Amino acid sequence: MNNMGKQYETVIGLEVHVELATKTKIFCGCSTAFGGAPNTHTCPVCTGQPGSLPVLNKQVVEYAMAIGLATNCEITRVSKFDRKNYFYPDNPQNYQISQLYLPIARNGYVEIESGGVPKKVRIHEMHMEEDAGKLIHDEWDDTTLVDYNRSGIPLVEIVSEPDMRSADEVISYLEKLRTIIQYLGASDCKLQEGSMRADVNLSVREAGSTQFGTRTEMKNLNSFKAIARAIDGERNRQIELLEAGKPVIQETRRWDDNKEHSYAMRSKEDAQDYRYFPEPDLVPIVISEEWIKEIKAKQPELRSEKLERYKREYDIPQYDAEIITDSRIIADIFESAAALCGKPKKVSNWLMVETLRLLKEHNMEPQDIRFSPGNLAKLVDLTEAGTINSSVAKEVFEKIFADNTDPERYVEENGLKTVNDEGALKSVIEKIIADNPQSVADYKGGKEKAIGFLVGQAMKAMKGKANPQMVSQMLKQAVTESDS
């Protein structure tokens, strides 16, 4: 949108919450498993019982350090927790343990590409904090219940500088963060399930201006598409206000993706005073040089390194390497299966084509994959040995994908082996030629296509188990030889 010839620039900064993949909560030993009957993953600590005390989960610090290092942040050597005080029933202590004054990491950046142009998005800081419980409103008796299973799930909040200028840049920043964090194994980063959540801070200004406009903060963005729509919606709303000579109000807004509209939640004037102060129940986190070295050493290979290595080591094309390394889970399957069968390009084909197709068809994410690399490798071996043909292989792969079926056993039990026995084929072919004189005549008369029909008939008679090349060859020979 662009009225009266004025050009506007959108300025965007993100606050990204990422749920860390620890087995236990940040300040107690309760499980972080998703689901579970309400208030079953709870204890005195995460329900705010009087006299309970928090104890920091070391794994949370290590994941946060790993993310900090992978996003080029400085790790704070003496980091502390603070209490953020506010009353709400999902927050059992009525304060959240977070970090304000000395966050675990600061001053980082990630490199993104937008429209083919590389760009750095700076990270202002990253801090650790605990998640709140969940309120469930019972419309029937007009009561609200609270489930503390989520209370105390570890989060990091990554706060970027206002360095992004478009929805495209925002999406590539988020995709980059997601890939890095997934590669680290620090989170599964599922936007839909809320293990990655982004709040968008957005303002507009006239192109060329060096002053920032008044920003708003947008919440409730559950998908990349919603984020893109919300950015466009908010940009247009702000420009319309400015064009009408009205001020943009600094406020928090909630995006309703169904209505494609945002609603004001609270303005700066209603902003609460959180009365932050250092959490006296926890001691400072002192991070030594050795500890940082240890985390760095444990740091897995990140995507760009892996991509280059795949091209080099497995001799697969850039295109394949990009698709396969997009998800660490797929990359891991690729490497294991390639090692087992020694045919990386074949493995890559199964992953790029059939696996991605089935994932899409079933609306699944790579982390939902259940099959083992071993079974994929066996499938490649079976196909390459000519034990099964490619159409049987596709059918078998669907089985593998669905139930992690052992392809060798499946092929055996269902009699799917390609019949390479010339004798068996010969009698079938003789019968097909006898039964289809018209097609035989057509082929002889120069209709090349007619052979396809005959091959199809033969394959059908063989219940698909024949080697189609062999059938075609034998048919051609038999037809030519047959007396007309």
Residues in contact with another protein by the rule CB under 8 A: 44, 47-56, 83, 85, 87, 89, 92-95, 144, 146, 273, 275-277, 280-283
Of 224, 123, 266, 252, nearest in space to 232 by CA: 224
The residue (of 54 and 344) whose beta carbon lies closer to another protein is: 54
Residues 6+ apart with CB under 8 A from 344: 310, 314, 315, 316, 334, 338
Nearest distance from C-beta of residue 47 to another protein, angstroms? 7
The residue (of 146 and 171) whose beta carbon lies closer to another protein is: 146
List 8's β-bridge partners, or say none.
206
Dihedral sign from CA coordinates of 341, 345, 350, 352: positive
Strand positions, DSSP E, 86-153: 95-98, 105-114, 117-130, 134-138, 143-147
**Could you tell me if 30 and 213 are in contact, meaning their C-beta atoms sit under 8 angstroms apart?**
no
The residue (of 78 and 385) whose beta carbon lies closer to another protein is: 78
Nearest distance from C-beta of residue 104 to another protein, angstroms? 17
**Could you tell me if 198 and 16 are in contact, meaning their C-beta atoms sit under 8 angstroms apart?**
yes
First to last CA, the chain: 74
Sort 164 into a burial class: Cβ within 10 Å, 0-12 / 13-18 / 19+: buried
**Could you tell me if 27 and 56 are in contact, meaning their C-beta atoms sit under 8 angstroms apart?**
yes
The residue (of 143 and 438) whose beta carbon lies closer to another protein is: 143
Nearest distance from C-beta of residue 272 to another protein, angstroms? 10
Nearest distance from C-beta of residue 59 to another protein, angstroms? 16
The residue (of 39 and 414) whose beta carbon lies closer to another protein is: 39
Nearest distance from C-beta of residue 105 to another protein, angstroms? 21
H helices of 362-467, in order, are: 373-384, 390-403, 407-413, 422-435, 437-444, 450-461
Residue 406, CA atoms < 13 Å, CB-side half-sphere: 4
Q: Measured between alpha carbons, how far is 353 from 349 in angstroms, rounded to an integer? A: 6
The residue (of 103 and 344) whose beta carbon lies closer to another protein is: 103
Nearest distance from C-beta of residue 244 to another protein, angstroms? 33
The residue (of 57 and 467) whose beta carbon lies closer to another protein is: 57
Q: Measured between alpha carbons, how far is 399 from 404 in angstroms, rounded to an integer? A: 7
Q: Measured between alpha carbons, how far is 400 from 387 in angstroms, rounded to an integer? A: 17
The residue (of 166 and 250) whose beta carbon lies closer to another protein is: 250
**Could you tell me if 246 and 41 are in contact, meaning their C-beta atoms sit under 8 angstroms apart?**
no
Nearest distance from C-beta of residue 56 to another protein, angstroms? 7
Nearest distance from C-beta of residue 209 to another protein, angstroms? 30
Nearest distance from C-beta of residue 110 to another protein, angstroms? 32
**Could you tell me if 43 and 29 are in contact, meaning their C-beta atoms sit under 8 angstroms apart?**
yes
Nearest distance from C-beta of residue 43 to another protein, angstroms? 9
The residue (of 280 and 445) whose beta carbon lies closer to another protein is: 280
Nearest distance from C-beta of residue 19 to another protein, angstroms? 23
The residue (of 153 and 285) whose beta carbon lies closer to another protein is: 285
Nearest distance from C-beta of residue 135 to another protein, angstroms? 10
**Could you tell me if 411 and 382 are in contact, meaning their C-beta atoms sit under 8 angstroms apart?**
yes
Collapsing DSSP states into helix, strand and coil, what is residue 264? strand
DSSP 24: B
The residue (of 144 and 209) whose beta carbon lies closer to another protein is: 144
Collapsing DSSP states into helix, strand and coil, what is residue 93? coil
User: In the chain, how many H helices and how many E strands?
Assistant: 16, 16
Collapsing DSSP states into helix, strand and coil, what is residue 125? strand
The residue (of 32 and 47) whose beta carbon lies closer to another protein is: 47
Q: Measured between alpha carbons, how far is 299 from 396 in angstroms, rounded to an integer? A: 37
